[in-house]
Structure 1
Amino acid sequence: MVVVVNQGIPPGRLIADYAEREGHFTDCFSCVVPGKVALADYVTAFYTTPLFRAERLVLRLAARAPSTDAQARALAEGASDQFAIWQVEARRGNELMMAERSGRTKSWFKVLAQGSSTQLLFGTVVVPVRSKSGDLVLGPVFDSLKGAHTFYARALLAAAARKLRA
């Protein structure tokens, strides 16, 4: 069984810059898997799980953004900076920040060695927009889907961890 926990945003990481900005939504989930896991293997596992393949199918149909497992691996290994609707925003050591086309949502991945295990971290950033009144808002769609987002983010991380353990 994979135990996914909600974790505070780790300081000094790519996602931390967004957590400190006014109006931005950030979250971070983590789990621990046995063995040494490289970032490339984690990212590949994440984007090639059956759960994420379902999202890729929706993106292919709705956003005309086809993607393959080979493209996921190329992204993970640094041979490509694009995957479906995402573009690499930053790579640093054992972490990766991806931004979707609009730049409003981002996905963050990190691996941390812990003795004979590896901690997998996955986070999300939602960038606010200015309302007509000038306030920073995430928008009613995101506000209404925040619970579903949390459930889905945890499920994606757990699926990647299970795939790495198999």
Structure 2
Amino acid sequence: MIHVSEAPPDSLLGHYVASGAYADCYVTEFPATVSHAQFVEAFYTSALFKLERLLLGLFLSRPSTDAEARQLAEGQRSSFAAWTVESRAENQLVLATGRTRSWLMVVAGSSELPASTQLFFGSVVVPPRSASGARRGMGLVFTALLGFHKLYSRALLRSVRARLSSQIQAAAHSRRSDA
């Protein structure tokens, strides 16, 4: 299940929330231990995100590969498709493009499910500045697309869960075959 959540206080989104930017946060608990690198790779190689990558390649000339997603996840790349790494911590990553940010974070599971991982995904949209430097409103396009964005964010996390599940099942099958 995917829930809307507040960004954890120690998240790299804190200063955006404090500055009044639009920020959202979605979380799901995955029933296995997942590293941050595994989450990032699964996110950017999930079936749904591959469609977004295809569109970025076609319309913005920003192609990307699964190998590049793996390098990003392992900290070996500072850019991926249309994004640049803005900040990175042991369990978090913020990618930036224009006024938008994407954030991924993992936290060890709850006490009820100790061998689980909380997977967080959030987005930030920084409001534009006027000529005087003051922040303006988000605008009509942002407002019109917000409902779609919320549905898409949940769908992305569902796609990541499916990707991680299939990876774990494949690894378990491989271990059984090797035994």
TM-score of the pair, normalised by structure 1: 0.93
The equivalent residue for 1:123 is 122
Runs of 5+ unmatched residues, structure 2: 167-179
Deviation at 1:135, TM superposition (A): 5.0
Q: How many angstroms apart in 1 are the aligned matches of 2:108 and 2:135?
A: 41
Deviation at 1:142, TM superposition (A): 1.1
Over 3 Å counting, the alpha-carbon distance change for 1:132 and 1:91 in structure 2 is: closer
Which structure shows the higher strand fraction?
1
Over 3 Å counting, the alpha-carbon distance change for 1:129 and 1:66 in structure 2 is: same
Q: Which has the larger radius of gyration?
A: 2
Three-state SS of the structure 2 residue aligned to 1:67 is coil
Q: Which runs of 4+ in 1 moved over 6 A?
A: none
Does the 8 Å contact 2:127/2:135 carry over to 1? no
1:70 and 2:50 are equivalent in the alignment: no
The aligned length equals 161
The equivalent residue for 2:34 is 37
The equivalent residue for 2:10 is 12
Q: Which has the higher contact order (CA 8 A, sep 6+)?
A: 1
Bigger drift between 54-63 and 124-133 goes to 124-133
Q: How many angstroms apart in 1 are the aligned matches of 2:65 and 2:135?
A: 39
Q: How many angstroms apart in 2 are the aligned matches of 1:131 and 1:117?
A: 45
CA RMSD of aligned residues (A): 1.3
1:107 and 2:119 are equivalent in the alignment: no
Which structure shows the higher helix fraction?
2
Q: How many angstroms apart in 2 are the aligned matches of 1:40 and 1:84?
A: 17
Q: How many angstroms apart in 1 are the aligned matches of 2:130 and 2:146?
A: 19
Q: How many angstroms apart in 2 are the aligned matches of 1:150 and 1:64?
A: 26
Runs of 5+ unmatched residues, structure 1: none
The equivalent residue for 1:51 is 48
Bigger drift between 49-58 and 129-138 goes to 129-138
Does the 8 Å contact 1:131/1:137 carry over to 2? no
1:31-65 CA distance string (max 9 Å, x none): 01111100111011111111111111110011100
Q: How many angstroms apart in 2 are the aligned matches of 1:138 and 1:61?
A: 27
1:84 and 2:74 are equivalent in the alignment: no
